[in-house]
Amino acid sequence: MGYPYSHEKEVPILSKYFGDPEARTLDGWEAREGYQALKKALDMDPEEVVEAVKASGLRGRGGAGFPTGLKWSFMPKAKDKPHYLLCNADESEPGTFKDRELMRWVPHQLIEGCLIGAHAMGAEHVYIYCRGEFFEATQVLAKAVEDAYEAGVIGDDVMGSGRKIDVTVFAGAGAYICGEETGLMNSLEGRRGEPRVKPPFPAAVGAFGMPTTINNVETLAAIPHIVANGGEWYRQWGSEKSPGTKLFCVSGHVRRPGNYELPLGFPLKDLIYDVCGGMIEDRALKAVIPGGSSVPILSAEEAEGCALCYEGVIEAGSMLGCASVIVMDETTDIVHQVMRMASFYAHESCGQCTPCREGTAWVTTILKRIEDGRGTEEDLDTLVEVTEQMTGTTICVLSDSVAAPVQSSIAKFRDEYLALIRRGERVGAA
Amino acid sequence: MADETTGIGGAAVDVVTLTIDGQEVTVPQGTTLLEAAKGAGTEVPHYCYHPGLSSPAMCRLCLVEVEGAPKLLPSCTTTVADGQVVRTNSDDATRMRRGVLEFYLLNHPLDCPICDQSGECDLQDFVFAEGREHGRGRDAKRVLGRDDFGGDVLFYGDRCVMCTRCVRFMNEVEENPLLTVVERGNRSVIDTFFEEGLEQAEWAGNVVDICPVGALVSKDFLYKARAWDLDHTPSICPNCSQGCNIELHTRDNLVHRMKPRTNPEVNGHWICDYGRGRYEWLNRGDRLEAPVVHVEGRKTAMGWTAALEALKERIDGLGIDTPGGKTVKAVVSPFWSNEDLGAVSRLVGALGGGDVVFRASRADEEVALTGYEGLARRKGLAPNERGAELLGCARVGDDVGQGGLDDLANHDGIVLVLGDALDDQPEGFAPNAALVLYLGAYTSSALASADFQFPVTTFAEQEGTFTNHAGRVQRFWPALSGPGTARPAWLVLGALLGALRGEEGPRSAEQAFGLVASAVESYSGLNYETIGAQGGPSAAPLPVAGD
């Protein structure tokens, strides 16, 4: 069930109890077959759990789409050091609001997923790193963790299994870069939220220098369902390479924006015109950002045949990312939108790597100048070259994230830039 | 295949062979590409990397192409692998480095004409080598201005390249985290914590040395000289017994600053603020410039030949060799070299033997650099106390380097003074002495009445060696020319001994050291060649506790 709107084409698994306040409570969750999957998992060998997740083909929902089961199998089996599972609840990608809803409505689903994951990887401590601005979500989750401790679901003897698993809800201070996995670890440890150089990778040296796996909220929330029903069950939705369902966060110029849980591979066109009720005032579609602000912009033509799965969006010329679909109609000023995104990244750059620290700010300055009608055509070449210098040259991919919208918008909407540069004409200025 | 070879200390080390810019290189496993390239003669530009600090790989300037890697890799953290093919100058690598350098110049004020770093600036060097001819920035630059970080350190924020070497030095090496990065993105700036500045640090001068640009500069050196006008002379810090390897930077025969010289066995890349700040005495103007001889109640300046002739006559007249004749007592300064001190003990020995003592200030506490084992500002505040001890000199006096000379002051034989100007003693020192000979650098009220005052050079004006607290013998070279006719004490004393005994004295510092080495057992096997620029460990026993 989507929230605030729902649609009959949805396959509500993770979002089944969105809008149902009782599902938030421990009793309510148990009444909805909650913690059954955990019980089942605790009776299974950790290896078996990992195999089940591998069989489901579940891919990381944080944006990169790395196969979750494979990631779990990287954790060292030796128990000479503490193992940690981190849940990345620092949902900060502009356009994304799925994790917040998962935490607000079904916190126990996430806790259950975390505990199963901890069992599978031999982790004795789970940290749920919440975005600093998520006040309500963090409070709901913290209450749920408290209740689960009281009920013996978390703690020294998880559901009577003898396994000890602790869960800590940790609130960040509100920085985009703390959603990057190693930046998150630094922040969790009390350091500056700056991504670390890899290698070493987190499975070898992660939080507090120990073997660590980090998963997105939505990924972990899907785990109980996969364990309860088996990997094959999960594959009934989606494609071979992108199995399962996914929450799509739709924002922008559609009649009914919101979260919709749909099978992967769902046509983008149907999402906009059917599920979301079409464009506001039936205006024409201009562009779609299919995966959050750091992926290339799709033009209306490219969006036309795009299937919303990992491989489908790549084929259309962009990336699925965390499936945050930002829909823009004909009144949208693309230059302004790109400038807004660039200034977001300039503000959020941690400042470690030179190309990102200087580049994000420079790109923003040039875009602002173009928007103010003081740009030149050489500025467009400079933007393309500068963003090329920012791609693949830094520790994390924040600087690549600026390059994608800038380069794609100049390639696809060059006319809009030129109109501003040559005649000071602005789209949708009225 | 990984192969075995012998490394430092004779231990077996695994080595790998790789190709850097077409050149085959064999290095120990775990070496970074940057160091391996350096060994092959290629300097990959870098800012954040420093061999004495951790590598955050954040300046992104040392990116190189490694065959098989999907993107360029930072050479400072990527370690070598067998069969690796590395190109530091591929099209991709140079294009990216050119791009990164352009980013550095976006907000840089280009104030090289008034920047102290100019001429020894990595930003200048790398941009000249690889940067774009013209920048494309058209917009206003960010302005941060100047900030006093406390102590000797001044911060020019606009010149900063945010390499964070200074922050990491304070965190990792001094282990006194007084610097940090404030804010983020291109608003980030290095800063102190509120009013708590670097005046609370003991080693903060090193942040100026490791700053690759002119962001952190020394207040003491500010606007004093251009880098290209300075001569650099390898030397040893004279301000404690640690024996840190330094360079004396001089111009117009004046020392302008002291900089650390890397020596992993003694001081790594670092020196302390105490030592660094005490070089002005090398520039003192109140120097003895010519031999002065008291003849019939009058002081007469004369040339060396005449002065030595007069001294020989006086000594001959004292009847040293006759039983019951005059004995010799000497006081020397541990700021003088082994060669000089050795010449004193040889002369004393030739004149029938006698006590040689030295005085030196001692600090209450050591000031350790906690992140670098074995490095501290030692309690002994002179560079050659150990050398004096090994030559049989005894320490006298108190912890400020005064007193302890009653024996000498009342002596009726020959009183020999080297280096120590006896500033704590009254005028007319050793009134009963048959002969007072002062070999020193400075005029002295206590010794103005000496029968002979001979001008000698300081360590900064001659070649020689000091022996540090651990018994390590280290060489220094002349950075300044001595005033007037001042000569090294070993030369003067050697000539005197030659005149008295007919032996030929040493003609070079090297020969003078050879005489010392043959007299001190623990120096056996040491000569200028084996000591080299990095010093040679003598077999001297370790210093007593508390040194």
Q: How far is CA B5 from the centre of its chain?
A: 34
Averaged pLDDT for residues B142-158 = 95
Closest CA to A339 of A368, A375, A359, A378: A368
**Would the CB atoms of B162 and A359 count as touching at under 8 Å?**
no
What DSSP designation does B228 have? G
* Nearest chain B alpha carbon to A356: B185
Q: Which token pair is B92?
A: 């991709």
Beta bridge partners of B453: B292, B438
CB of B414 closer than 8 Å to CB of B327 = yes
Averaged pLDDT for residues A363-383 = 95
Phi and psi angles of residue B464, each rounded to the nearest 5 degrees, phi first: 175, -170
Which of A361, A389, A393 has its CB closest to that of B186?
Answer: A361
Q: Which amino acid is at A259?
A: N
- What is the per-residue pLDDT across A241-298, written as a single tens digit (0 to 9) for each? 999 999 999 999 999 999 999 999 999 999 999 999 999 999 999 999 999 999 999 9
Q: How many CB pairs under 8 A join A and B?
A: 89
**Would the CB atoms of A354 and B103 count as touching at under 8 Å?**
yes
Which chain A residues touch B72 with a CB distance below 8 Å? Answer: 392-393
Q: Which token pair is A202?
A: 């987190």
**Would the CB atoms of B57 and A392 count as touching at under 8 Å?**
no
Residue A227's alpha-carbon distances to A47, A231, B206, in angstroms, are 12, 7, 58
Averaged pLDDT for residues A24-34 = 95
Rounded to 10°, the helix A354-371/A377-389 angle is 160
CB of A294 closer than 8 Å to CB of A405 = yes
Position B321 confidence tier, pLDDT thresholds 50, 70, 90: low
The residues near A236 (Cβ < 8 Å, ≥ 6 apart) are: none
Specify burial of residue B16 (Cβ count, 10 A radius: 0-12, 13-18, 19+).
Answer: buried
Q: What is the pLDDT of residue B546?
A: 39
Which of B77, B100, B107 has its CB closest to that of A355?
Answer: B100
Q: What is the pLDDT of residue B22?
A: 94
**Would the CB atoms of B71 and A392 count as touching at under 8 Å?**
yes
Q: Is B161 on the interface with A (CB under 8 A)?
A: yes
**Would the CB atoms of A382 and B56 count as touching at under 8 Å?**
no
B80-84 LR contacts (CB < 8 Å, sep 24+): B80/B16, B80/B18, B80/B27, B80/B29, B80/B30, B80/B31, B80/B32, B80/B33, B80/B36, B81/B16, B81/B18, B82/B1, B82/B2, B82/B16, B82/B17, B82/B18, B83/B17, B83/B18, B84/B16, B84/B18, B84/B19
* Confidence check: pLDDT of B535 > 90: no
Report the C-alpha gap between A314 and A306 in whole angstroms: 9
CB of B335 closer than 8 Å to CB of B401 = no
Position A430 confidence tier, pLDDT thresholds 50, 70, 90: very low
**Would the CB atoms of A351 and B102 count as touching at under 8 Å?**
no
**Would the CB atoms of A392 and B136 count as touching at under 8 Å?**
no
- What is the per-residue pLDDT across A299-355, written as a single tens digit (0 to 9) for each? 999 999 999 999 999 999 999 999 999 999 999 999 999 999 999 999 999 999 999
Q: Which token pair is B14?
A: 């695994």
Rg for chain B, CA atoms, rounded: 28
* Nearest chain A alpha carbon to B162: A352
H or E element that contains A116: helix A107-121
Closest Cα of chain B to A68: distance in Å?
23
Q: How far is CA A398 from the centre of its chain?
A: 14
The residues near B239 (Cβ < 8 Å, ≥ 6 apart) are: B274, B275, B278, B377, B381, B383
Position B11 confidence tier, pLDDT thresholds 50, 70, 90: low
Lowest mean pLDDT of A58-72, A389-403, B8-22, B234-248, name the range: B8-22
Which chain A residues touch B163 with a CB distance below 8 Å? Answer: none
**Would the CB atoms of A361 and B185 count as touching at under 8 Å?**
yes
Q: What is the pLDDT of residue A322?
A: 93
Q: What is the pLDDT of residue B324?
A: 67
Sign of CA dihedral A39, A43, A44, A50: positive
The residue length of chain B stands at 547
The residues near B68 (Cβ < 8 Å, ≥ 6 apart) are: B85
CB of B453 closer than 8 Å to CB of B438 = yes
Q: Which amino acid is at B219?
A: K
Report the C-alpha gap between A241 and A58 in whole angstroms: 9
Percentage of chain B lying above the pLDDT 70 cut? 95
Helix residue ranges, H only, B411-540: 489-501, 509-519, 528-531
Q: Which token pair is B472?
A: 């390590």
Report the C-alpha gap between B134 and A382 in whole angstroms: 13
Q: What is the pLDDT of residue A426?
A: 73
Rounded to 10°, the helix A414-423/A377-389 angle is 140
Sign of CA dihedral A92, A95, A96, A100: positive
* Confidence check: pLDDT of B541 > 90: no
Closest CA to B478 of B457, B492, B463: B463
CB of B493 closer than 8 Å to CB of B440 = no
**Would the CB atoms of B56 and A197 count as touching at under 8 Å?**
yes
Q: Is B58 on the interface with A (CB under 8 A)?
A: yes
Most confident of A392-401, B294-303, B530-539: A392-401
Which chain A residues touch B71 with a CB distance below 8 Å? Answer: 392-393
Q: Which token pair is B65?
A: 């192409």
Q: What is the pLDDT of residue B416?
A: 96
Q: What is the pLDDT of residue B323?
A: 66
Closest Cα of chain B to A360: distance in Å?
8
- DSSP per-residue string spanning A237-302: SB-SSSBSEEEEEEEESBSS-EEEEEETTEEHHHIIIIIT-SBGGGPPEEEEESSSTTSPPEEHHH
Q: Which amino acid is at A272?
A: I
Name the residue with tokens 């709107």.
A5
Q: What is the side-by-side order of every strand in the sheet holding A84-89?
A: A166-171, A125-130, A84-89, A212-216
Q: What is the pLDDT of residue B536?
A: 82
Which of B63, B72, B103 has its CB closest to that of A358?
Answer: B103
Q: Is B163 on the interface with A (CB under 8 A)?
A: no
Closest CA to B218 of B142, B271, B288: B271
**Would the CB atoms of B56 and A352 count as touching at under 8 Å?**
yes
Averaged pLDDT for residues B376-405 = 96
- How confident is the prediction for chain B on average, in pLDDT? 92
- DSSP per-residue string spanning A149-168: HHTTSSBSSGGGSS--BEEE
Closest Cα of chain B to A192: distance in Å?
9
Q: Which amino acid is at A204?
A: A
Which of B56, B100, B104 has its CB closest to that of A393?
Answer: B100
The residues near B413 (Cβ < 8 Å, ≥ 6 apart) are: B318, B326, B327, B328, B329, B354, B433, B434, B435
**Would the CB atoms of B181 and A192 count as touching at under 8 Å?**
yes
Report the C-alpha gap between A40 and B399 in whole angstroms: 77
Beta bridge partners of A125: A84, A166
Which chain B residues touch A386 with a CB distance below 8 Å? Answer: 99
* Confidence check: pLDDT of B547 > 60: no
H or E element that contains A127: strand A125-130
* Confidence check: pLDDT of B9 > 90: no
- Higher pLDDT, residue B351 or A307: A307
Closest Cα of chain A to B439: distance in Å?
58
CB of B531 closer than 8 Å to CB of B465 = yes
H or E element that contains B250: strand B245-251
Strand, coil or helix: B258: strand
Q: Which token pair is A151?
A: 């009920």
Q: Is B287 on the interface with A (CB under 8 A)?
A: no
Which chain A residues touch B161 with a CB distance below 8 Å? Answer: 354
Which chain B residues touch A350 with a CB distance below 8 Å? Answer: 184-185
**Would the CB atoms of B58 and A347 count as touching at under 8 Å?**
no
Which chain B residues touch A392 with a CB distance below 8 Å? Answer: 71-72
Strand, coil or helix: B500: helix
**Would the CB atoms of B72 and A393 count as touching at under 8 Å?**
yes
* Confidence check: pLDDT of B187 > 50: yes
Report the C-alpha gap between B183 and B293 in whole angstroms: 69
Report the C-alpha gap between B220 and B222 in whole angstroms: 6
Around B192, how many Cα atoms within 13 Å sit in the side-chain half-sphere? Answer: 22
Q: What is the pLDDT of residue B543?
A: 43
Q: Which token pair is A273?
A: 């015109």
